[in-house]
């Protein structure tokens, strides 16, 4: 049976250099949200402009 102490020891062994995902992983979903937001905003503006003309 693995205790919390043994688990923390095994985690300490894995000493990987900071990768792109660990540094900027939190930005990726926000970037996707931002881009989809812009896309749908453009779509909405395009539909409104099409109706008015």
Residue boundaries of the structural domains of the chain: 21-53
Length of the chain: 53
pLDDT higher than threshold 70 for residue 51: yes
The pair of three-digit structure tokens given for residue 3, joined into one six-digit string: 């205790």
Q: How far apart are CA 14 and CA 18, in angstroms?
A: 12
- Split at pLDDT 50, 70, 90, the class of 26 is confident
Q: How far apart are CA 52 and CA 48, in angstroms?
A: 6
Q: How far apart are CA 43 and CA 31, in angstroms?
A: 18
Average pLDDT over residues 21-48: 91
What three-state secondary structure class fits 37? helix
pLDDT higher than threshold 80 for residue 13: no
């Amino acid at each position: 049976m693995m205790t919390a102490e043994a688990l923390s020891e095994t985690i300490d062994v894995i000493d990987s250099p900071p990768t792109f995902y660990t540094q900027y992983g939190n930005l990726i979903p926000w970037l996707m949200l931002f881009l989809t937001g812009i896309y749908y905003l453009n779509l909405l503006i395009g539909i409104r402009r099409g109706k008015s003309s």
